[in-house]
Structure 1
Amino acid sequence: MKAQLIGIVTAALLSGCIAGIQPGDESPTVSYTVPRSYQIVYLRAQNQADECLRGKKHYDVYAQVDPAMQAGSVAVRSPLGGLEVARTDIKAVDASHTQVTHTVWGHSPWDAGALNAMRQSILMDTSVCVAYR
């Protein structure tokens, strides 16, 4: 049974049916500015991804920050094919404001609910894994 599932997923990946977030696609996204430094926002986004995926072996969190550019990103990827399903990009506007852009794949559970939870995590400065509004 497990071999069949792997075969189906592999076939779907190769056929392009499972694409994840791709440049230029219409993945759900939201952008906003928060009154916090880029370092704080970066750590919050990384922590939210780690906490919400704890115990879920189907995804990996990749985070990178560039102090010279005062920017960073946190991506959630499936270990199978590196499929990117969620991403938070941050860029300092000034010393105390950060532009944040969240993007999700658009397929459950990486849909509007996940997008809202990611946004609420940054705005409330606490990890939110499920948003009810």
Structure 2
Amino acid sequence: MKGRVKSLLAGAGMLALLSGCSLGIQPGGDSPTVSYTVPRSYQTVYLRAQNQAGECLTGKSQYDVYAQVDASMQTGTVSVRSPLGGDVARTEIQAIDASHTRVTHTVWGRSPWDVGALNAMRQSVLMDTSVCVAYK
């Protein structure tokens, strides 16, 4: 009985330790983020974000790209998920009008999903071409 209690306590301690080191973007967390407006339709921005994520992850099969668009709300989300299921990068878009879109990029904050990735995501939308690494 004593050994079983120790095992249960050790298991509970390990679970608590792992939950404190959660993987990916957390609600209310301190993940790096940037928001801005671009003079493009939300469909164009959505396709650019989806394309950039796919191109920059070529050869990195441990990550998956999930993209969804809501045409009635004129919004979309492109997320990169880790093997454990947490989002490590996310782009959220919302149409302001027919030719302007509000974009918000958020990254996990740990390499390689840090400010460098955030800048590359932003440059991809602004330059309308896939940028995997931003140097500024």
Whether 1:108 aligns to 2:102 is: no
Offset of residue 57 of structure 1: 1.0
Q: What does 1:13-24 align with in structure 2 at a 5 Å threshold?
A: 14-24=18-28
Partners in 2 of 1:61 and 1:13 — Cα distance? 28
| 1:73 alignment partner in structure 2 | 77
Q: Deviations over 1:25-74 (max 9, x none)?
A: 11000000000000000000000000000110110000000000000000
Structure 1 runs not aligned, ≥5 long: 1-9
| 1:30 alignment partner in structure 2 | 34
SS state at 2:76 partner: strand
Structure 2 runs not aligned, ≥5 long: 1-13
Offset of residue 15 of structure 1: 3.2
| 1:129 alignment partner in structure 2 | 132
Are the equivalent residues in 2 in contact too, given 1:72–1:91 (CA < 8 A)? yes
Amino acid at match of 1:114: A
| 2:48 alignment partner in structure 1 | 44
Partners in 2 of 1:13 and 1:93 — Cα distance? 43
| 2:59 alignment partner in structure 1 | 55
Partners in 2 of 1:118 and 1:55 — Cα distance? 18
Count of residue pairs the alignment pairs up: 123
| 1:6 alignment partner in structure 2 | none
Are the equivalent residues in 2 in contact too, given 1:12–1:18 (CA < 8 A)? no
Amino acid at match of 1:79: P
CA change 1:12–1:63 in 2 (3 A) is farther
Partners in 2 of 1:88 and 1:78 — Cα distance? 15
Q: Given the two structures, how large is their TM-score scaled by the length of structure 1?
A: 0.88
Offset of residue 11 of structure 1: 7.0
Q: Given the two structures, how large is their TM-score scaled by the length of structure 2?
A: 0.86
